[in-house]
Amino acid sequence: MHENEVFTSSGLVRRLLRDQFPGWADLPLQRVDSYGTDHDIYRLGNELAVRLPRIGWATGQAAKEADWLPRLAPHLPLAVPVPIARGEPGDGYPFEWSIHEWLTGENADGTINDLEAAAVDLAGFVHALGQVDPADAPKRPPGARGAPLAELDERVQRSIHGLGPRIDGARTTRVWEGSLCASPHGPDDVWVHGDLLPGNLLVVDGKLSAVIDFGGLNVGDPACDLQPAWNLFSGPSRTRFQTELGVDDDAWLRGQGWVVFQTVSALAYYWDTNPGIVRQASHALDQVLNG
């Protein structure tokens, strides 16, 4: 999927474990199938998961999650990953990697029984995350999740142009420009997950149970976390999500802008390499344009 991508294998994971965590090295090991883009995940025994970055830009996530998830978790109504250990580069593998507790569940792509109930649950998570004191949060890099949409304009325009006839570029541009015209978020940044896609939401027995993959964790505009309104919900469940969060029209427009950013960026980058991401992004963009 990526230039300079690092490929992993069960054999590599075994060798890393034997060198660094020998007490876990002989547990059953199975690669987890997913259309994730940044990490390879292996289930280790019944209770652990090994996460190895595939590309350099993902290498800071292990440290970020180890630092912040234990502080955030007590405030959140859904489960989040529990970091257990961090591994070092070794055996030719160049990145820091991590071991987490295994979280049971399927991703939220078509597995939720009651979408309105899920809208309430996920809105509760977004609200609770935004209530955690961000005073000690690290400074947000330019263009990171929760940034002002204007910082993303060049990338969005380039992606729309590059996609050509594969999307409705004129309508997508109109939605994006409408989002840019929305009143900006105020000065009080809040914690945002930044990547609330169906693949990052876990479901047990048809009900939302956990939120994973906090690589986009930042402080910024909470409209960034409105993306499930279009990538997961529709009709009454979308309305319920909006009502539960109490967002105004300008925030809703900025939320649409974040969906445009995520979808056109993903479609332009992964069109030929990741059909799962292309399917998800195409659905969300269609919902913004037609939903």
Q: Show the domains of the chain with their CATH numbers.
A: 10-102 (3.30.200.20), 107-290 (3.90.1200.10)
Residue among 113, 281, 115, 86 nearest 199 (CA): 281
Mean pLDDT for 171-188 is 96
pLDDT digits (tens, 9 = 90+) for 112-155: 999 999 999 999 999 999 999 999 998 999 999 999 999 999 99
- Is residue 47 within 8 A of residue 102, CB to CB? The reply is yes
pLDDT at 36 > cutoff 90: no
Mean pLDDT for 163-187 is 97
Q: List, in sequence order, every residue forming a beta bridge with 48; answer none if it has no partner.
A: 44, 101
pLDDT recorded at residue 134: 95
pLDDT recorded at residue 37: 85
pLDDT digits (tens, 9 = 90+) for 278-289: 999 999 999 999
- Is residue 196 within 8 A of residue 225, CB to CB? The reply is yes
Q: Which amino acid is at 275?
A: P
pLDDT at 239 > cutoff 90: yes
Residue among 259, 185, 261 nearest 229 (CA): 259
Mean pLDDT for 211-233 is 97
Which residues in 61-86 are b (16+ Cβ under 10 Å) and which e?
A: bbebbbebbeebeeebebbbbebbee
pLDDT at 43 > cutoff 90: yes
Coil, helix or strand at residue 132 = coil
Report how far residue 276's alpha carbon sits from residue 145's, in angstroms, rounded to the nearest whole number: 22
Mean pLDDT for 91-101 is 96
pLDDT digits (tens, 9 = 90+) for 50-59: 999 999 888 8
Which is higher by pLDDT, 33 or 243? Answer: 243
pLDDT recorded at residue 4: 86
pLDDT at 35 > cutoff 90: no
pLDDT at 34 > cutoff 90: no
pLDDT recorded at residue 144: 96
pLDDT at 291 > cutoff 80: no
